Amino acid sequence: MTGYSGQNTQGIGERLRTVRRHLNYTRRQMAGVLRIHQSGYYKNESGETYPRPETLFRLQRDYGISMDWLLSNKGPMFYKQKDREKEKEPALEDRAPEVRELVDHMDRDPQLKHEILAYFFKYRNKK
């Protein structure tokens, strides 16, 4: 089943379930901490719908969930693990000026970051 960005929402739903179980929350509790209706969370976790950007932002901000992992199953579940992996990547200063500017804007605007990532994954999955 496909959702908001053409992504496979079933895989995202399975990873949401993994997060919830890792945090030892019931579905009801998870919906509460994400500030969404239980039915909306159930649909996200079952793969019927794509999580809203606000939900993705809360998972990232409040629990350190990596959007790379949640949206595309790439890398570790948590950013702390990701930070250790990034040490091997080239520094941002070594990248093109346009890339640095884009990253700066994405760091300041989580909504923009999620929209760009959703578009990127949609684009990448078409190739």
28-86 confidence digits (pLDDT tens): 999 999 999 999 999 999 999 999 999 999 999 999 999 999 999 988 998 775 455 55
Residue 3 Cα distances to 15, 52, 77, angstroms: 15, 11, 21
**pTM score > 0.95 for this model?**
no
Residue 9 Cα distances to 64, 79, 95, 102, 124, angstroms: 21, 22, 32, 27, 16
For the chain, what are the domain ranges?
A: 9-126
User: Which CATH homologous superfamily contains domain 9-126?
Assistant: lambda repressor-like DNA-binding domains (1.10.260.40)
Phi then psi for 78, rounded to 5 degrees? Answer: -110, 145
Q: Which one has a higher pLDDT value, 28 or 121?
A: 28
CA distance 34 to 55: 6
Q: Which one has a higher pLDDT value, 80 or 18?
A: 18
**Residues shown for the chain:** 127
Residue 62 Cα distances to 14, 34, 54, 78, 96, angstroms: 20, 9, 12, 11, 31
DSSP 65: B
Band (1; pLDDT cuts 50, 70, 90): very low
CA distance 5 to 22: 26
